[in-house]
Amino acid sequence: MRSLCTRRFGPPSKWEIADLPTPKITRGDEVLVRVHAAAINPTDIGGALGRYWPAFSVPLPFKIGYDLAGTVAATGNEVTKVKVGDEVFCCLPFKDREKYGSGSVSEYALITQTLVISKPKNLNFVEAASIPLVALTAIQMFDKVPGGVDGKTVFVPAGLSGVGSVAAQMAKNAYGAGKVITTVSTTKLSMVDNLLGKGVVDETIDYTKINPAKTIPQNSIDVVIDSIGATFSSLALLKRGGIIVACAGPPPSGHNVRNISTEVPFLIGKILDFLDAITRWWVGRYQVKFDSVLMKPNGSELERIKEWVEEGKIKPVVGKVLKFENLEGIKEECTRIMKGKGGVGKVVINIIAD
């Protein structure tokens, strides 16, 4: 099968589309998916750059991608949840029982039946592929908020980013936030209501002209959902007893890393836990709480997300769609993501045109 991969750790310029062995079902609970579309996330690029190898023995060639939507091509003899031909979507695990799960930007991908979910009926493959990782990250971030966000003021920086676009919608439409505040650049101001839905965001700040930390009143925010590393710049905005939940910025705790792989070296886990303790101590000086999330795929959570999508509570935000054959275009977009240059929503690769 063809797969987007890198034979040695490095930037997108080193990536290639190579012929690699098609994954084979070796366990009764496995599902082989023929991939129609796959999305790119910053974590995919981090893996390809080799940022995981100090903590995990990541094999080469490293296959790119975790998000996908496609059709079931084959199943193990214990699978009852789906059948051949079913349209599904999922987020591949980083590692599952000694098998590395990355490689959604490929013609085929292998996953256990507990993590594969039938595709939302109101989405095409491209739209469905854009959802899993960012929505699972968002739902796991909200689950860290004591008492939830119902009626509360929630600050979601970068509301048209991958995680931000889903988190803003989830806050208002699924969890009942009283007020949602976000930030975008000047050119994206007019896109917020159109892409996220009118009334989802109550206040949009143009961060290129106004510093959010100076325009949002201090001690006025209950919850910050941080996917861009805005933890420390947001501290003064939080009410006493408020909370920041981050998936970017401060390093993940050793506990969070061990949650996705048991092979984390003892010393690295302890160092990460120490750094996490320092972050919590620093944040605690402002009399607020801090927690972090390192997303782990979860089938029941993705099922909830699918229901919210079908109910119209969450809309996918797809920024750019590329053909699988357009390797140079893929490299260009992934280089932009690597450099942190703002885009809108997710980059999705069409493996098989709808």
The DSSP-derived string for 20-32 is -PPP---STTEEE
Which DSSP category does 173 fall into?
Answer: I
Reported as a single tens digit per residue, the pLDDT across 188-232 is 999 999 999 999 999 999 999 999 999 999 999 999 999 999 999
**What confidence score (pLDDT) does residue 143 get?**
97
Buried b (16+ CB within 10 A) or exposed e, 298-336: bbebbeebbebbeeebbbbbbbbbbebeeeeebbebbee
Buried b (16+ CB within 10 A) or exposed e, 233-263: ebbbbbbeebbbbbbbbbebbbebbbebbee
- In the chain the domains, ranked by start, together with CATH numbers, are 2-131+316-350 (3.90.180.10), 134-292 (3.40.50.720)
The one-digit pLDDT tens for each residue of the chain (354 residues) are 999 999 999 999 999 999 999 999 999 999 999 999 999 999 999 989 988 766 566 788 999 999 999 999 999 999 999 999 999 999 999 876 656 667 999 999 999 999 999 999 999 999 999 999 999 999 999 999 999 999 999 999 999 999 999 999 999 999 999 999 999 999 999 999 999 999 999 999 999 999 999 999 999 999 999 999 999 999 999 999 999 999 998 988 999 888 887 778 888 889 999 999 999 999 999 999 999 999 999 999 999 999 999 999 999 999 999 999 999 999 999 999 998 887 899 999 999 966
Phi, psi of 309, rounded to the nearest 5 degrees: -65, -45
**What confidence score (pLDDT) does residue 84 get?**
98
Helix (H, G, I), strand (E, B) or coil at 204: strand
pTM: 0.95
Rounded distance, CA 221 to CA 180, Å? 10
**What confidence score (pLDDT) does residue 264 get?**
81
**What confidence score (pLDDT) does residue 100 get?**
63
Rounded distance, CA 244 to CA 226, Å? 7
**What confidence score (pLDDT) does residue 341 get?**
80
**What confidence score (pLDDT) does residue 184 get?**
96
Tokens 């009283």 — which residue? 178
